[in-house]
Amino acid sequence: MTVIAEIFSQGEELVNGQIVDSNAAWISQQLLELGFTVSRHTAVGDDLAALTDLLTEIANRADCCICSGGLGPTSDDLTVAAVSQASSLPLVFDEIALQQIEQFFQRRQRAMPEINRKQAWLPSGAQRIDNSLGTAPGFQLRYLRCHFVFLPGVPAEMQAMFNAQVKPSLQQHFQLNPDQLISIKSIGIGESAIQQRLAELEIPDCVQLGFRAASDEVHTKLRFRADYPEQLKLNLIEQAAGLIGDYVYTISGLNKTDDVDLIGVIDRLMQTQQCSVSLFESFSHGLLASRCWQKNWLKQAAIDGNGLQIADDDAIEPHLSQLAANLRQNQRSDFALIQAYRQIPDSSTQQIQIVLYNSLHTDNCVRYARHTLVGSHIHTLQQQAATLTLDLLRRYLQSTCP
Amino acid sequence: MTVIAEIFSQGEELVNGQIVDSNAAWISQQLLELGFTVSRHTAVGDDLAALTDLLTEIANRADCCICSGGLGPTSDDLTVAAVSQASSLPLVFDEIALQQIEQFFQRRQRAMPEINRKQAWLPSGAQRIDNSLGTAPGFQLRYLRCHFVFLPGVPAEMQAMFNAQVKPSLQQHFQLNPDQLISIKSIGIGESAIQQRLAELEIPDCVQLGFRAASDEVHTKLRFRADYPEQLKLNLIEQAAGLIGDYVYTISGLNKTDDVDLIGVIDRLMQTQQCSVSLFESFSHGLLASRCWQKNWLKQAAIDGNGLQIADDDAIEPHLSQLAANLRQNQRSDFALIQAYRQIPDSSTQQIQIVLYNSLHTDNCVRYARHTLVGSHIHTLQQQAATLTLDLLRRYLQSTCP
């Protein structure tokens, strides 16, 4: 049975285009994984009449609606008033909500501003959704055909509340048969190249293939119906991952615990192999170090944005080997991971072009990797560089050094 | 006069959350600058009935609607069919559109696939919008109250067509008076606290006040009508910024060139005052350094995640002073900017609690700042910490050291 869901986002900054509605995309993904059919996203500004109209529209055509935004303490936060007006439910003061808001400020050693009291008023009969990260409680209620869930617009708060409270509640409330979604996660290969490699794979019509490309990795997505035979599913995933090759760093969706990112994969491998590493970072200028926060296998992280600009390819290998030897000796680390780069001036376009040199040095071997990065946003290129440098370590750990 | 505009985005990948609808935000910004009031964004998937319903809804309530997506050659591209069905306009074949599509393939020395002929069928009476970057022509037409503009979903094509053809056409079609938008940007003070400080300010009804809170800064927004008297506007902005106090790091919107972020403000001040700084970063573990990429006033960035964990408040000041003296001497920098921290174990909640100590050391003075950060995402707290540490430098540069 199809269960129709809609997403409703509130905020002047959304309809005015000051921020992109990433909440709607995140919530859609969660609903899809739970087994809902998402039919529509709508965003409106801070306008009581527009909010009230929209709530009533949705209440007549959807089974479920997740709303975010408009629960703040200020005068332009109108969601609660709109719900009350649309549904004719009076507002009641929730003492427990007030206590939670007061505790939020107490933990930060600040007095609660008087205007935050407003956030403890909820529509009569609504079920409160606690917010341990912020001041705005969420709530859920039924209005006409639709089960409405209201969450704050701050992504971290919204996501934590959705995961801990909304998800189990929706699973209880609706009969859902979610598809099984598998994500083959890869680094260093593009979407079209993956598509070419997968051309020879025979994918049954009932299995959906899709891609999600971020700036530094591509996820190849396979969606199987709930009743798809397990062994056929595993065979197809194995074939697909085999065709993509060693660009694949993990496959997520096979079981509950495997949804890790690149640093998660590296962390497990470093713990298992009981190794330590020292980093020397140049182009990504701190972004690589920031991903290794509180990892006990990190001996040292050094940054020098200018120190490892290399004049040409020939000069680089002896230079990096000497640096690595010093690093490993001084820090007594098993590995040294080094990032060097060369910026290529390009007068014809406005783009930045970087040649990135990564090297990993161990007792037994040295591995080099060279990449060319092109783009117009320096920060995106720096994030890509941090990922590619880390990925050299992942490739070493997942293989055996020759 | 208020001219109501809506944004309508089409695509299964949008409603399923595989991509974030950045087109809607971009188009909104353009419409707002032109003087439209954007009332609503809607996204629907590849469903003929849903598209037809939505077009008719919008045709009855908006003066203008910009639609993107659904103009491709494949069977799931249904926008033209939906327009024809909703408006009862038959499709006619546009020979010039076909020539342009054929030329697109000729320039790439490829044969035009037969399915691309579909893109030359447009609703009768529609005005074609040429696409020099892709195969899908856009078009505009009136249906009931609303002037509809249809553009392809590929951002580069959509933006080029909007700028070159749609914008001048809208300016001719509508009488528009764009508002003036001012943003007072602040760090270290929350939205509620700002609102309390602004309570005593008399804001005329015709001026809109709004807030945009990110994890590490708050923007206080004032929107003035085009005909609002200039001197009254400047007075109100000055009063508002004065009430918020030295948390304000910049005011954007006063002229075309002033829309800078925190690092942009610091960069200008450091260039003007010809100073240099050495960083010692602990908790943000590289994120602070990454913001200072290629700044010629940065002498050194050192990271040590464990080295500056402080046992208690009393021990910290002499420790930081010694470290700063060494840094300034070794690096011959005018300033040393140091970030230390203490993590507070909190068994009662799942939250992370950090006491952050920032200090800035110059020839004449030392400035300390102490902040408590609470949250569940370490990365968000690290970004906040990087911002607060940098903000201590900004405050020093914008003031005179006592």
The pLDDT averaged over each successive group of 10 residues in chain A (402 residues) is: 93 88 94 94 94 96 97 88 96 95 88 91 96 93 97 93 97 91 91 84 89 81 90 96 95 76 93 93 94 92 73 75 86 92 72 88 91 83 95 91 38
Rounded Cα distance, A211 and A194, in Å = 9
Work out the pLDDT band at B402, boundaries 50, 70, 90: very low
Q: What is the mean pLDDT of residues B85-98?
A: 96
The pLDDT assigned to A258 comes to: 62
**What integer pLDDT is reported at residue B400 of this predicted model?**
61
User: Distance from first CA to last CA of chain B, Å, rounded?
Assistant: 52
Q: Which residues pair with A6 in a beta bridge?
A: A40, A65
Q: How far is CA B169 from the centre of its chain?
A: 26
CATH of domain B4-173: 3.40.980.10
Closest Cα to residue A73, out of A30, A38, A35, A116?
A116
Instruction: Using pLDDT thresholds of 50, 70 and 90, give the confidence band for residue B133.
Output: confident
Q: What angle do CA A182, A187, A192 make, to 5 degrees?
A: 80
Mean pLDDT (chain B) is 90
Question: CB neighbours of A380 closer than 8 A, spacing ≥ 6?
Answer: A215
- Measuring CA to CA, how many Å separate B124 from each of B69, B80, B119, B351? 20, 11, 14, 61
Question: What residues have CB less than 8 Å from B339, skipping those under 6 apart?
Answer: B279, B280, B281, B282, B283, B284, B288, B308, B356, B357, B358, B385, B389
Residue among A16, A18, A290 whose CB faces B286 most closely: A290
Q: Answer positive or negative: Cα dihedral of A111, A115, A119, A125.
A: positive
Residues 185-214 of A with CB under 8 A from B: 210, 212
Sheet strand arrangement including B352-361: A366-375, A352-361, A335-344, A277-281, A298-303, B298-303, B277-281, B335-344, B352-361, B366-375
Name chain A contacts of B212, Cβ cutoff 8 Å.
13, 18-19
* Partners of residue A156 in chain B, C-beta under 8 Å: 215, 375-377, 380
DSSP-derived secondary structure letter, B309: B
User: What pLDDT score does A179 carry?
Assistant: 85
How far from the centroid of its chain's Cα atoms is residue B64's Cα? 24
Report the phi/psi class of residue B88: left, alpha or beta, with left for phi > 0 and alpha for psi in -120 to 50. Answer: left
Average pLDDT of the segment spanning B178-202? 91
Contact A41, B40 (CB under 8 A): no
According to DSSP H, which parts of B185-261 are helical?
191-197, 230-244
What pLDDT score was predicted for residue B321? 85
Phi, psi at A52, each rounded to 5°: -65, -45
Q: Which pLDDT score is estimated for A169?
A: 97
Distance of alpha carbon B180 from alpha carbon B214, whole angstroms: 22
- Put simply, the answer to whether A42 touches B40 (Cβ < 8 Å) is yes
Q: What is the CATH number of domain A263-398?
A: 3.90.950.20
Nearest partner of A264 among A278, A274, A253, A250, judged by Cα: A250
Neighbouring C-beta atoms of residue B203, cutoff 10 Å: 13
Q: For residue B52, give the nearest of B74, B70, B72 by alpha carbon.
A: B70
Q: Cβ contacts (< 8 Å) between B211 and chain A: which residues?
A: 74, 76
Residue A110 tokens, joined: 């600040």
A55, two tokens: 């709530």
Q: Domain limits of chain B?
A: 4-173, 180-259, 263-398
Residues within 8 A of A (CB atoms), B 46-75 only: 47, 50, 54
DSSP label of B56: H
Q: What percent of chain B has pLDDT over 70?
A: 95
CA distance B138 to B97: 10
Could you identify the residue written with the tokens 């709004």?
B210
In the three-class reduction of DSSP (H, G, I as helix; E, B as strand; rest coil), residue B155 is classed as helix
- DSSP letter at B162 equals I
As a CATH number, domain B180-259 is: 3.30.70.2860
If one counts every other C-beta atom within 10 angstroms of the C-beta of residue B15, the result is 29
Across the interface, which of B15, B211, B289 has its CB nearest the CB of A39?
B15
A191 exposure class (CB count in 10 Å sphere: 0-12, 13-18, 19+): middle
Q: List CB contacts of B99: < 8 A, sequence separation 6 or more.
A: none
User: Can you give chain A as a three-state secondary structure string?
Assistant: CCCEEEEEEECHHHHCCCCCCHHHHHHHHHHHHHCCEEEEEEEECCCHHHHHHHHHHHHHHCCEEEEECCCCCCCCCCHHHHHHHHHCCCEEECHHHHHHHHHHHHHCCCCCCHHHHHHHEEECCCEEECCCCCCCCEEEEEECCEEEEEECCCHHHHHHHHHHHHHHHHHHHCCCCCCEEEEEEECCCCHHHHHHHHHHCCCCCCCEEEEEECCCCEEEEEEECCCCCHHHHHHHHHHHHHHHHHHEEEEECCCCCCCCCHHHHHHHHHHHHCCCEEEEECCCCCHHHHHCCCCCCEEEEEECCCCCECCCHHHHHHHHHHHHHHHHHHHCCCEEEEEEEEEECCCCCCCEEEEEEEEEECCCCEEEEEEEEEECCHHHHHHHHHHHHHHHHHHHHHCCCC
Give the chain B residue nearest A7 (alpha carbons): B15
Instruction: Provide the Cα torsion A303, A156, A7, A224; round to 10°.
Output: 70
Phi/psi of residue A65, nearest 5 degrees: -140, 130
Residues A149 and A169: their CA atoms lie apart, in Å, by: 10
Question: pLDDT: is B325 or A243 the higher one?
Answer: A243
Total-model pTM: 0.75
Structure tokens at A378: 């320096």
With contacts defined as CB-CB under 8 Å, which chain B residues touch A42?
Answer: 40-43
Q: What are phi and psi of A43, to 5 degrees?
A: -125, 135
Residue carrying the six token digits 């925190």: B262
SS3 for B312?
Answer: coil
Q: Which of 102-131 (A) contact B at CB < 8 A?
A: 107-109, 113-116
CB atoms under 10 Å from CB of B391, counted, come to: 23
Q: Which site among A10, A13, A14, A16 would you substitute to test the B interface, given the most B Cβ atoms closer than 10 Å to its Cβ?
A: A16
Q: Does A368 touch chain B (CB under 8 A)?
A: no
- Alpha-carbon torsion (A374, A375, A377, A379), positive or negative: negative
Residue with tokens 């994918």: A203
Give residue A307's pLDDT. 55
For residue A75, the chain B residues in CB contact (below 8 A) are 195
Q: Note whether B261 contacts A: Cβ–Cβ < 8 A.
A: no
For A337, B336, B349, the CA distances from B385, given in Å and listed in that order, are: 27, 17, 21
Q: How confident is the model at residue B154 (pLDDT cuts 50, 70, 90)?
A: confident
The C-alpha atoms of residue B185 and residue B213 are separated, in whole angstroms, by 10
Contact call for residues A163 and A130 (beta carbons, < 8 A): no
Q: Do B15 and A29 touch (CB under 8 A)?
A: no
Q: Is A181 left (phi over 0), alpha (psi -120 to 50) or beta?
A: beta
Q: Note whether A350 contacts B: Cβ–Cβ < 8 A.
A: no
Out of B191, B195, B372, name the one closest to residue A109 (CB).
Answer: B372
* Confidence bin at B192 (pLDDT 50/70/90): confident
Measure the CA–CA gap between A75 and A138, rounded to whole angstroms. Answer: 18
Under DSSP, the state recorded for B345 is P
Q: Where are the alpha helices (DSSP H) in B245-315?
A: 262-273, 287-291
- Which of B2, B6, B10, B18 is most worth mutating to test chain A (most A CB atoms within 10 A of its CB)? B18
Chain A contact present for B307, CB below 8 A? no
Please work out, in degrees rounded to the nearest 5, the angle formed at the alpha carbon of residue A168 by the alpha carbons of A164 and A174: 150
Residue B253 carries which DSSP code? S
The reply to whether residue B25 touches residue A18, judged by beta carbons under 8 angstroms, is yes
The token pair that represents B241 in the structure block? 């910024």
Rounded to a whole number, what is the distance in Å from the CA of B339 to chain A's nearest CA? 15
- What confidence tens digit (pLDDT) does each residue in B101-118 have? 998 888 877 788 888 899
Size of interface A-B (CB pairs under 8 A): 206
Q: Which of B24, B44, B287 sits opposite A290 (nearest CB)?
A: B287
Looking at residue B308, its pLDDT comes to 59
Q: Nearest CB to B39: which of A44, A73, A113?
A: A44
Distance CA B263, CA A285 (A): 15
Taking CA–CA distances from B279, the nearest residue in chain A reads A303
Nearest CA among B185, B183, B180, B182 for reference residue B229: B180
Nearest-Cα distance to chain A for B8, in Å, is 9
Measured CA to CA, the distance from residue B380 to residue B386 in angstroms comes to 10
Higher pLDDT, B289 or B313: B289
Could you report the per-residue pLDDT of B351-376, keeping only the tens digit for each? Answer: 788 999 999 999 888 999 999 998 87
- Is the pLDDT assigned to residue B398 strictly greater than 50? yes
For an interface test with A, the pick among B8, B12, B15 (most A C-beta atoms closer than 10 Å) comes out as: B15
Share of chain A above pLDDT 70, in %: 95
